[in-house]
Structure 1
Amino acid sequence: MESSAKEDAQPKPRLIVRLGRLLASHHILFSALCCSAGIIALLFLPALAKNTYLSENALIPGSANPLFSTEDVAEANKFIKGIEAAAGESRDGMGMPKFIVQQMKELGAEVCYHEFLPHSKHFHPLKFFTSMTNDLAIHPNGTYTNSGTNTIGIIRAPRGDGKEAIVLVTPYNSQRVKENELLSLALGFSVFSLLSRAEWLSKDIVWLSADSQFGEYTAVSAWLSQYHNPTFVAGVTNGPDGIAEKAETTDFKRAGTMAAALIFKVGETRNYGDRDSVTMYAEASNGQMPNLDLLNVVHYLAVHRQGFRVNIERISSLVTSAWLRVIAEVIQTVGSLLRKINPDWKLDIAAPDYVEGTANLASSIYNQALGVPTGSHGAFRDYQVDAVSLEFSPTFHLRNENAKSSFLVRGGRLIEGVVRSVNNLLEKFHQSFFLYLLTAPSKFISVGVYMIPFALLVVPLPIVAAALADGGKTEGKSMNDHNMKGSADILQVDGGAWKWLQSARVLLVIQIWAVIVSLLPYYISQIADGTPIQSAVIWVVLSIIVLIILYAMLGSPYSAGVEWKLLKATMITSISIGLGLMSIINFATAQLGSLIVIPMCLFSRPVKARLGMNFLPRTVLLASNIFLAIFGFPPVILLVMKGLSKGTWTVDIGDFWVSMEFLWEWSSATYLYIFLVHLPCWLLCIHVLVHPCRQAGSKVKWE
């Protein structure tokens, strides 16, 4: 009676504890429901996209009549003829920069040259999350060798105080200029000329004619690095226009803090007979995006004021995909049914719109997850400057003067309108979203919506880890009870804490291996004249050797005392932390990674543990584990992603080296994710699959 009274007097566990125990006891069902809901929510994202809108009222795009006229077009045509003549007469490659500087001087702008060297791309293990830098190498006689030359013009705002500026960038290749690049320069000059006469300017205007012979990003990044981090080199006497001009043109000119930047260029002619289009590129390094209001201003002015068709990048292979059309029909049917049940549930979307939105959304996620800028606007974003790249795609032949004049008028008015809107701002862009995905130029998914699928995929992980840990302790307790008659040492070693340490030791060994594997390319890249295939093979061989050595020195996962349940629980805990950290750095990478590693973690189970199961569930689990083990391997993932995005399915081991080299050269955090989060998880899953799976009650032999 007394014992029963004491039991009744004990307080009941808190509700959250009881809920946790309930979920842990049904963790298989809970995981299946959450993962299914996460995938379904991800498929519904295109239907949940909202129309874009302007959050900052001060922008008021299109409120003023544009001043860009046919006179500016005539000036642009005159500029094209002049720069063609200058490029043909020059032998030292400085004809075009000299001509551009001379034209800007005549407008009353402050001008200067900026010389830079190509970026030497090397693997720097400790320089992740930092922007690319251009280290200037000086020739002994004080001149640059094999350098590019940017030309910069600055218009001081008549109504401003010099503290803010708007940057316009037109890239061109000074060594092999094309006709469309000449048109880009003419468009930039005509707008710059118009703004030099504008009395309403309150922000300085900087026009950067970026010499893109080493790449557009390199030219812009080098100029920005000098702009924000001045370097002073003694004894440099270069100046393309002689001694009288050296003091003026070699003195680096600056304006105020950059409010925004607009990079624009004219692409090659496409789609004869269709409407002229503008393609927006916004993705910067490690998934950074400019403020959505900047994209909204461009879209509004381009579509509703100048009649352009606005595009964003998309994965073309998905547009013609048969399986995506089937999903689109299902989503359309489900959305119509939900709309009938509750008219406030606006989930109905036409099947063609869903396919188009999914192709755009997939491209947006892929570009953000890749962590590499899609244009030179990414260099601005490294300095927290909102920027967007615009590529005009005319539908006419560039020799058609009438069509070219009409195009220049509309293009000039578009750029003028964007400058007017940014000029109206009294502070930096901050009202709208910085975290978003695009499903169309005028539709977006905010962070509050697209994080739901990720949360649904991740939430089962701690529950499953707790259930496995509780199962591991139960097995450890049964083994201790079975060996109670043995020595006290075995009883102490078989405790649950020691088994946790054994699993943690395995995780530590694999993480050390992953760090070494991620650093190996730095040393492999030092090998002269190595092909990508040779480098990849050396990388694989060295990785296997290092793993064997670490297992021999620190112990393998198959040594006595390592239980697969605790090993799996440790793995799930590690991947939860890794995905959580990656979601802060680059959410798109964490989202794509969760679709692969979470099913791999949840389904992994020793092959020997299925021997007592029925044939059908054993076959399903075995097939799913083999499938996930194959497609969870990083090189295979690379092949799949490349096939979906590029449409090519060639298998080449050298491609993996080239892709990883591409990521580390751009300091993409995705490289760290692949080797410090995904690869250890995959190896642990393989260890769980081939685990000897000692049964409880078996005698343990310690080495």
Structure 2
Amino acid sequence: MELPSKEDTQPKPRLIVRLGVFLASHHILFSVLCCSAGIIALLFLPSLAKSTYLSENALIPGSANPLFSNEDVMEANKFIRGIEAVAGESRGGSVMPKFIAQQIKDLGAEVCYHEFLPHSKHFHPLKFFTSMAKDLPVEPNGTYTNYGTNTIGIIRAPRGDGKEAIVLVTPYNSQRAESNEVLSLALGFSVFSLLSRAAWLSKDIVWLSADSQFGEYTAVSAWLNQYHNPMFLGHPTMLDSKLFDAIHEPDGITEKAEFMDFKRAGTMAAALIFKVGETRNHGDRDSLTMYAEASNGQMPNLDLLNVVHYLAVHRQGFRVNIETINSLLSSAWLRVIAEVIQTLGSLLRKINPDWKLDIKAPDYVEGTANLASSMYNQALGVPTGSHGAFRDYQVDAVSLEFSPTFDLRNENAKSSFIVRGGRLIEGVVRSVNNLLEKFHQSFFLYFLAAPSKFVSVGVYMIPFALLLAPLPIVAAALADSKTKGKSLDGSKTKVSADKMQAEGGSWKWLQAARVLLVIQFWAVIVSLLPYYISQIPDGTPIQSAVIWVVLSIILLIILYTMFGSPYSTGVEWKLLKATMITSISIGLGLMSIINFATAQLGALIVIPMCLFSRPLKARVGKNSFPRAVLLAVNIFIAVVGFPPAALLIVKGVSKGSWTLDIGEFWASMEFLWEWSSATYLYLFLVHLPCWLLCIHVLLHPCRQAGSKVKLE
């Protein structure tokens, strides 16, 4: 009886293992298909956008008749005349806060002041993610004379318990208020006056008249910091306040105590920041622009935007807009893609009517411009308005900018605008007032393709997943080529496993890991250099950028001298590429948790750079044409992957400007680190090391360790 052979007794590998081996043996084709599918899926996102809808039934916007009437318009006009009169009498910055506070008192509401200092923004590596409250400017005598003053009015809800509040914010410049800022204050006061008489309120109302002489974000952020982190009387900061001298009442002690008493309401349920922008000379009706992007890609709950959009469009007749990239609206190549998408969508709809992918070409172009703007603002990681300060405290907030089409001196048109704007704000407050809990039903992770269309997280993750899928397969193929001796350029020769173990050894993987650690350590130092370079007095952006580049090169040479470069240690390019793929996989995975938009846009650049990089001296068959194509592709992705070049491309697409100097690159990086944007960390801890490893792979002498091994 013949015994079964040893090969027959071995169990067959599981299906998932066989599938992995199959994909690793065809990793080039798999990479091309996945990358192409990822880019195509990204282009299909505008046609996959869904119409917005209300998830929380308790909001019921527009269910009640608005109470804002012509009497409130008269209050607003009276407020405008009063504030213009006091502003004309004196140019002091304390006059307008005093007038606003007096008007709030006359309504019977509580009032207090909040003095704050401008932020002195400097990069500090140990406080990157902690707070936006930067170091205070130092005065020689320890007393601060340059400060802003916020005026806060609070209405205690007659039907509430004081545990929740709704915040209304109106920014203005107390030193020189423009006519549109005065109109914003009048609109806010008229709504606040109406709400002081509302019997249906169950949440406190806080009206913040934010002094924006140092910036809108600074005023709101300083007040929120004081609201959530109380400062006690023993705090060393001293303000040379002139507001006490501007207030004359019989009981000065009571007035001073009221001034120093920082009043608070309940937990903030939502915040609405609104202002009147500049007059537009075109358009058939007044428009409203919504700004929702906060720091590091955070977004408010989509239900809040849906309430604003529904009331603005269907109740008050505003044209609602979001930010868009105007250069894409006139792009010829985008129109060609739109025509192709339209034709393809029509064909797919005929095959299966349930596939709702058909979209008109103009709608696709507009949706792409809006979607690109939403992704860009989230990837930048910088708030698009003072609503970002609220999101830092997990409060849902949105900024509204009204753009009237009439002359502000036209009283009839201005009165009509105040009525519609007041009713819109009243309707939003009514809807939020109905909530029994915080916003939680709708989406927090989404891209806006239009004011009434969005792409949810379950859809926009598909392109990212397709781009990321080839990375482990290619890494497995590289490991397999080291153990079996099968080269990546298609040769079928096999090397003895024992010889490969003796010559290659697992220690070479440790050498590749050491190279990665050296480069990562260099990247950390490069990311911290601006903190020290910014201490140089009177340095221009160009000088700072040149110093940054020179020091970075010198540090890299020193580290390579101390620990060895990839070429001096004899690390093979396959191991170097596998290390690069491992590093970028971890980096993109972590970045997708912090800011998905940054990871998505970064994957479009670094993943093709990782997958298709190979030594320029590598032989690709006997034909010179594939080698020339591969050479051109590798050089192209290496140039595009360089951070300043990537910045130039982003600037060209978003702003239509294709000029960039080294000083502007410094200014852009300074802008990111001042706002504690995680994109700065991504660029220098993920993108830059990946690019440097790619350059090392391209310039590798391509000496194979197996060349000295005898072939069986």
Distance change (3 Å), C-alpha of 1:11 and 1:566: same
Structure 2 distance, partners of 1:388, 1:621, is 48
Distance change (3 Å), C-alpha of 1:483 and 1:349: closer
When structure 1 is superposed on structure 2, of 139-148 and 391-400 the one drifting more is: 139-148
| Counterpart residue number, 1:128 | 128
| Counterpart residue number, 2:641 | 632
Structure 2 distance, partners of 1:34, 1:155, is 57
| Counterpart residue number, 2:490 | none
SS of 2:5's equivalent in the other structure is: helix
Report deviation, 1:619.
Answer: 1.1
| Counterpart residue number, 2:209 | 209
Q: Does 1:162 align with 2:162?
A: yes
* Structure 2 residue corresponding to 1:403, chosen from 413, 437, 440: 413
Structure 1 distance, partners of 2:362, 2:591, is 33
Structure 1 distance, partners of 2:603, 2:40, is 14
Residues 87-137 of structure 1 show CA distances to partners (whole Å, capped at 9, x for unaligned) of 122243111000000000000111111000110101011223333115567
CA contact (8 A) 1:89 1:95 kept: no
Structure 2 distance, partners of 1:514, 1:227, is 38
Distance change (3 Å), C-alpha of 1:660 and 1:137: closer
| Counterpart residue number, 2:191 | 191
Letter in structure 1 aligned against 2:64: A
| Counterpart residue number, 1:225 | 225
Distance change (3 Å), C-alpha of 1:694 and 1:434: same
Letter in structure 2 aligned against 1:215: G
Report deviation, 1:160.
Answer: 0.4
Residues 328-375 of structure 1 show CA distances to partners (whole Å, capped at 9, x for unaligned) of 000000000000000000000000000000000000000000000000
* Unmatched segments (≥5 aa) in structure 2: 488-492
Structure 2 distance, partners of 1:630, 1:52, is 40
Residues 524-547 of structure 1 show CA distances to partners (whole Å, capped at 9, x for unaligned) of 000000000000000000000000
CA contact (8 A) 2:121 2:134 kept: no
Structure 1 distance, partners of 2:529, 2:565, is 22
| Counterpart residue number, 1:488 | none
* Structure 1 residue corresponding to 2:398, chosen from 388, 399, 407: 388
When structure 1 is superposed on structure 2, of 240-249 and 613-622 the one drifting more is: 240-249
Structure 2 distance, partners of 1:460, 1:183, is 56
Report deviation, 1:699.
Answer: 5.1
Structure 1 distance, partners of 2:10, 2:412, is 90
Letter in structure 1 aligned against 2:280: R
Structure 2 distance, partners of 1:520, 1:168, is 41
* Structure 2 residue corresponding to 1:269, chosen from 276, 279, 293: 279
| Counterpart residue number, 2:617 | 608
CA contact (8 A) 2:511 2:569 kept: no
* Unmatched segments (≥5 aa) in structure 1: 485-490
Distance change (3 Å), C-alpha of 1:189 and 1:613: farther
Structure 2 distance, partners of 1:479, 1:60, is 71
Report deviation, 1:249.
Answer: 2.0
Structure 1 distance, partners of 2:704, 2:364, is 51
Letter in structure 2 aligned against 1:43: L
CA contact (8 A) 1:118 1:134 kept: no
Q: How does 1:612-691 map to 2 (within 5 A)?
A: 612-691=621-700
Structure 1 distance, partners of 2:425, 2:274, is 9
CA contact (8 A) 1:164 1:204 kept: yes
Distance change (3 Å), C-alpha of 1:698 and 1:341: closer
* Structure 2 residue corresponding to 1:576, chosen from 585, 610, 631: 585
Structure 2 distance, partners of 1:36, 1:139, is 58
SS of 1:310's equivalent in the other structure is: strand
Report deviation, 1:620.
Answer: 1.0
| Counterpart residue number, 1:28 | 28
Residues 284-307 of structure 1 show CA distances to partners (whole Å, capped at 9, x for unaligned) of 000000000000000000000000
Report deviation, 1:610.
Answer: 3.0
Aligned residues: 694
Report deviation, 1:612.
Answer: 4.6
* Structure 1 residue corresponding to 2:512, chosen from 492, 503, 519: 503
* Structure 2 residue corresponding to 1:285, chosen from 289, 295, 309: 295
Letter in structure 1 aligned against 2:328: L
Q: Does 1:352 align with 2:353?
A: no
Residues 625-648 of structure 1 show CA distances to partners (whole Å, capped at 9, x for unaligned) of 111111110001111111211222
Q: How does 1:225-264 map to 2 (within 5 A)?
A: 225-234=225-234, 238=241, 239-240=243-244, 241=247, 243-244=252-253, 245-264=255-274
Structure 2 distance, partners of 1:152, 1:529, is 39
Letter in structure 1 aligned against 2:218: T
Residues 503-553 of structure 1 show CA distances to partners (whole Å, capped at 9, x for unaligned) of 111111100010000000000000000000000000000000000000000
Distance change (3 Å), C-alpha of 1:222 and 1:670: same
Structure 1 distance, partners of 2:135, 2:108, is 32
Structure 2 distance, partners of 1:639, 1:153, is 46
* Structure 2 residue corresponding to 1:322, chosen from 332, 337, 341: 332
CA contact (8 A) 1:494 1:561 kept: no
Q: Does 1:453 align with 2:460?
A: no
Structure 2 distance, partners of 1:595, 1:356, is 22
SS of 2:357's equivalent in the other structure is: coil
Letter in structure 2 aligned against 1:205: I
Report deviation, 1:474.
Answer: 3.3
Letter in structure 2 aligned against 1:13: P
Residues 137-172 of structure 1 show CA distances to partners (whole Å, capped at 9, x for unaligned) of 797988642000000000000000000000000001
Query: Root-mean-square deviation (CA), in Å?
Result: 2.0
| Counterpart residue number, 1:151 | 151
